[in-house]
Amino acid sequence: MKRVLTVLAAGVPLAAAVYLPTASAEPRTSVSTPPACVAPPVKAPSGTVVESVTAVRRPGGTIHGTGFLGGDVSGVPAFCQVTVTLTHPGDNDHARVQTWLPLAEWNGRFQAIGGSAYSAGDNGVGLGTAVKNGYAATTTDAGVGDVLDTSWVLSSKGQVDTALLKNFASRSQHEAAVVGKEVVNGVYGKRAAFSYFTGCSTGGREGYMEAQRYPDDYDGILADAPAINWDEFEVATLWPQVVLNNERTYPTDCEFKAFTDAAVKACDKFDGVQDGLVGDASRCDFDPRRLIGTKVVCDGRELTITAADANVVRKIWDGPRTASGKKLWSGVPIGADLSGLAHSALDTDGTVKGQPFQVPALWVQLWLKKDPSFDVSKITYSDFTKLFKQSEAEYDKVIGTDDPDLSAFRKSGGKLITWHGDADQYIPTDGTVQYRNQVEREIGSAKKTDDFYRLFLAPNTAHCGLNGLDGSADGLAALTSWVEHGKAPQTLPATLINANGEQVEHDLCSYPAVSRYKGHGDPALASSFRCVSPARH
């Protein structure tokens, strides 16, 4: 099962995914004699001490995901669960690396799985899915907590725990790669033929961090809707609330939906056919002022969209700027659900109050203000600029994950695939596009970059939406084919959900190409479209 749990509106404050790549490739290896499930010897990675190693045989069946995300995966075969606990001397941390190894029909591959929001690793559903597909799979908790558990961030003296932040940002993922591969070798008696990293959101960021800092860890990385540029976009995703509070205008969620629906309808035609999908979102420049005076029925009440409402939407789409008008970061994509970051509701005193998305609110409260009680609703436009600059100055080198120099990863033979939804309501797609363009400049050309790194943008797709909520795509199958057979993906076949809620087959084009209707054929079929160079505008 694939799913993404979104939303303030449903009371689930998380932009993250239970990330479950399907890996449809056939198994390479069959384990004729089930290996003994005993704790293998594990050499401590550099800078760590191994505190413990345990091995437990699990019967498989249905795996219930732990923590806030929950979730289930059924039909998991029996596996050996090996848990290695590491510590960094002097840091008083305890990072667990968990590896699940199928006891039969191992496909000869190793897969590491990233995390979600403030969780560094998987909750069991991704591991179970990987084992079900024949992989030996690894994840790490980095010594931190669940997706919204930030109890580890501040010390008793009110200072950020830099050791645990370093774990979460980078070093624990590398150590998991080292330990996981060693466990595979120790249990099976041979090394994995190929190694992969998969993740979305925080997991996507971790995949990029691996490519940048530890280019030899993996043969292939699938890093989707990646939370790169963390120090910038994490503050930027609080911008919609800053706009609401400073403009003192709080459109309802259905008014926001009216703006989004109108924009999608206006921009739908750019791909050559009205099919409920915006084929080239970069061309969509819908002016929200066109809706001023429009009547919208919300919960039985008829509301009229005002100039103030349109101004709020314009500012949110445009993205954060300084008081002098300098652009700081990209805004919420025009086709994305605005209620994700700009939700508001009646307070207990009867007034309307913004409800900030918890992930960026926690970042500002704990990492920047170092005060859990800090009221983010009081942030002025001037304050926002200072917080944005502070975050860049203090955390870019730690967790920015935006170094465009992937030359070492390219030299190692690694392959990197990313898909990102054009309607991502939590992580602006433009940040990923901007990074890809920076890599091209660093490497020397788009062609050289395409040799090892390909980006695919998914129309009408929300955050981590191709994990099930807004369709699906088998990025891992494309990645294994590229790594193991040299078949670079020109397109990424996907099932999308259009604006009418209908499933349509669509080939995502390798960036910068965009999808264009051929002029004939069923718009619900991928064969009716072709990939073309984007129009100049």
**Interatomic CA distance for residues 418 and 433, integer angstroms:** 10
The one catalytic residue among 174, 420, 463, 506: 463
- Token code pair at residue 196: 């992969």
Inter-axis angle of helices 239-247 and 307-318, to 10 degrees?
Answer: 150
DSSP letter at 162 equals H
**Interatomic CA distance for residues 32 and 103, integer angstroms:** 9
Nearest CA-CA partner of 212 in 193, 189, 194, 228: 228
Has 201 been annotated as catalytic? yes
DSSP letter at 415 equals E
Nearest CA-CA partner of 22 in 73, 82, 61: 73
**Interatomic CA distance for residues 221 and 475, integer angstroms:** 10
Has 463 been annotated as catalytic? yes
Has 119 been annotated as catalytic? no
Q: Which residues contact 121 (CB under 8 A, 6 or more apart)?
A: 98, 113, 114, 115, 139, 140, 141, 142, 176
**Interatomic CA distance for residues 339 and 337, integer angstroms:** 6
3-state secondary structure of 99: strand
Residue type, 424: D
Nearest CA-CA partner of 508 in 451, 453, 457: 457
**Interatomic CA distance for residues 64 and 87, integer angstroms:** 28
Q: Which residues contact 179 (CB under 8 A, 6 or more apart)?
A: 42, 45, 84, 86, 97, 99, 138
3-state secondary structure of 413: coil
Nearest CA-CA partner of 241 in 396, 161, 352: 352
- Token code pair at residue 63: 């795996």
The one catalytic residue among 116, 170, 201, 515: 201
The one catalytic residue among 146, 309, 403, 424: 424
Whose tokens are 């959900």? That residue is: 497
Whose tokens are 């992969």? That residue is: 196
Q: Which amino acids are annotated catalytic?
A: 201, 424, 463
